[in-house]
């Protein structure tokens, strides 16, 4: 039987335009982000800073994220008790059969396409958990999602993660509208669930991300909508992308001034002589200077160089795929 919250989310999305009504008609999985039905519980979360080892992560809304790196399969969040269900960072019940994932900084939930760059297999997933904590990994996939793109347990794989902006914004807006109750006949009030998180002080010069946005008791608002919108890409959509040769690299830092990038690159030369390069890129229309170490022969060397780069003053260094 559908949860009251799933019905409320469906009603909220239904009021946003004809295309979303059509989207609902494709099946409950398209709104909830699950591959096999509505989601029980859960709320919209940005969250606080968190730490894995010596690395701090700062969650923030990003509806246009497009990144490469290493992915792994995971078994879900830890249990809080012997008989307690596994609960994701935004309060949903984890189900290994659903196409879900964990990301270190994205808003939850978010809809994204994950592509295995080694095989070209891609699948659209719902990101609803925080992680992975493993250094040098950018996303952790549920068993079902990992299987969909061909990732075996304990086998890091080169991937591309692309947030689907329209899908993620509509889902976020629908969940946020649960905070603005209006009278709606026969609509049951949604339940609320708390999300537990460890409050971590950010390092000097930084600030924590916005706090959790939770759903208040009440009924779901239904908007008038602004006419038809583009069709949604359902979670579970699979595709086969072209495969090309790739190599791993360490992105050590990005700087606004070429001089600072050069000084930083010189510091890294002691780790990998002859493999440190500085290149100009454009970020948000502005010229920036990126420092990378490449090529890297494989995952083992990438992990070793990443640890060394962080040790000499590159806390934001990460593994990328070129």
The pLDDT tens digits of the residues spanning 191-225 come to: 333 333 333 344 343 333 333 333 333 333 333 34
The pLDDT tens digits of the residues spanning 149-185 come to: 999 999 999 999 999 999 999 999 988 886 554 333 3
CA–CA separation, 106 vs 73, rounded Å? 18
* pLDDT score recorded for residue 166: 95
> What average pLDDT does the segment 51-59 reach?
90
In Å, the largest CA–CA distance within the chain is 69
User: Which residue reads 């039987």 in tokens?
Assistant: 1
* pLDDT score recorded for residue 18: 36
Q: Give the SS3 label for residue 148.
A: helix
Pairing of strands 50-52, 55-57: antiparallel
User: Which residue reads 């708390």 in tokens?
Assistant: 194
Q: pLDDT-based confidence at 230, cuts 50/70/90?
A: low
**pTM for the whole structure:** 0.77
Q: pLDDT-based confidence at 9, cuts 50/70/90?
A: low
> What average pLDDT does the segment 92-112 reach?
96
CATH classification (class only), 248-321: alpha beta
The pLDDT tens digits of the residues spanning 114-131 come to: 999 999 999 999 999 999
> Which DSSP state fits 43?
-
CATH of 4-166+231-240, one of 2.60.120.10, 1.10.760.10, 3.40.50.720, 2.40.40.10: 2.40.40.10
* pLDDT score recorded for residue 231: 76
- Whether the Cβ atoms of residue 44 and residue 176 lie closer than 8 Å to each other: yes
* pLDDT score recorded for residue 92: 93
Q: Give the SS3 label for residue 160.
A: strand
Q: pLDDT-based confidence at 229, cuts 50/70/90?
A: low
CA–CA separation, 200 vs 248, rounded Å? 31
Domain ranges of the chain: 4-166+231-240, 248-321
> What average pLDDT does the segment 63-84 reach?
92
Name the average pLDDT for the chain: 79
Residue scoring higher pLDDT (55 or 204): 55
Q: Which of 95-104, 162-171, 187-196, 260-269 has the lowest mean pLDDT?
A: 187-196
Q: Does 94 score more than 60 pLDDT?
A: yes
* pLDDT score recorded for residue 221: 34
Q: Does 25 score more than 60 pLDDT?
A: no
Q: Does 239 score more than 60 pLDDT?
A: yes
How many percent of the chain have pLDDT more than 90? 60
Domain 4-166+231-240 shares a fold with domain 248-321: no
CA–CA separation, 236 vs 179, rounded Å? 28
Residue scoring higher pLDDT (111 or 178): 111
> What are the DSSP calls for 195-263, one per residue?
------PPPTT--PPP----PPSS--------S--PPP--TT-EEE-------EEEEEEEESSHHHHHH
């Amino acid at each position: 039987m559908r949860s009251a919250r799933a019905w409320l989310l469906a009603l909220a999305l239904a009021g946003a335009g004809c295309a979303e009504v059509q989207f609902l008609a494709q099946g409950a999985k398209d709104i909830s982000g699950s591959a096999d039905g509505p989601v029980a519980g859960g709320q919209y979360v940005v969250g606080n800073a968190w730490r894995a080892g010596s690395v701090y992560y700062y969650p923030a809304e990003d509806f246009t994220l497009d990144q490469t790196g290493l992915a792994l399969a995971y078994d879900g969040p830890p249990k809080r008790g012997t008989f307690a269900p596994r609960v994701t960072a935004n309060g949903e019940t984890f189900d290994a059969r659903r196409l879900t994932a964990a990301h270190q900084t994205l808003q939850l939930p978010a809809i994204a396409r994950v592509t295995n760059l080694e095989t070209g297999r891609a699948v659209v997933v719902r990101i609803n958990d925080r992680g992975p904590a493993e250094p040098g990994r950018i996303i952790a996939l549920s068993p079902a999602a990992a299987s969909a793109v061909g990732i075996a347990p304990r086998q890091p794989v080169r991937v591309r993660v692309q947030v689907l902006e329209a899908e993620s914004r509509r889902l976020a807006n629908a969940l946020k509208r649960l905070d603005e109750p209006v009278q709606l006949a026969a609509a049951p009030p949604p339940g609320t669930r708390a999300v537990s998180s460890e409050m971590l002080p950010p390092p000097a010069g930084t600030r924590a991300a916005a706090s959790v946005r939770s759903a208040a008791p009440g009924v779901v608002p239904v908007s008038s909508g602004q006419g038809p919108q583009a069709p949604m890409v359902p979670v579970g959509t699979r595709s086969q992308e072209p495969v090309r040769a790739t190599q791993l690299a360490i992105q050590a830092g990005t700087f606004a001034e070429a001089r600072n990038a050069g000084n930083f690159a010189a510091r890294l030369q002691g780790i990998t002589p002859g493999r440190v390069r500085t290149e100009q890129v454009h970020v948000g229309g502005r010229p920036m200077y990126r420092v990378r170490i490449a090529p890297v022969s494989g995952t083992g060397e990438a992990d070793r160089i990443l640890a060394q780069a962080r040790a000499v003053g590159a806390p934001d260094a990460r593994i990328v795929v070129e």
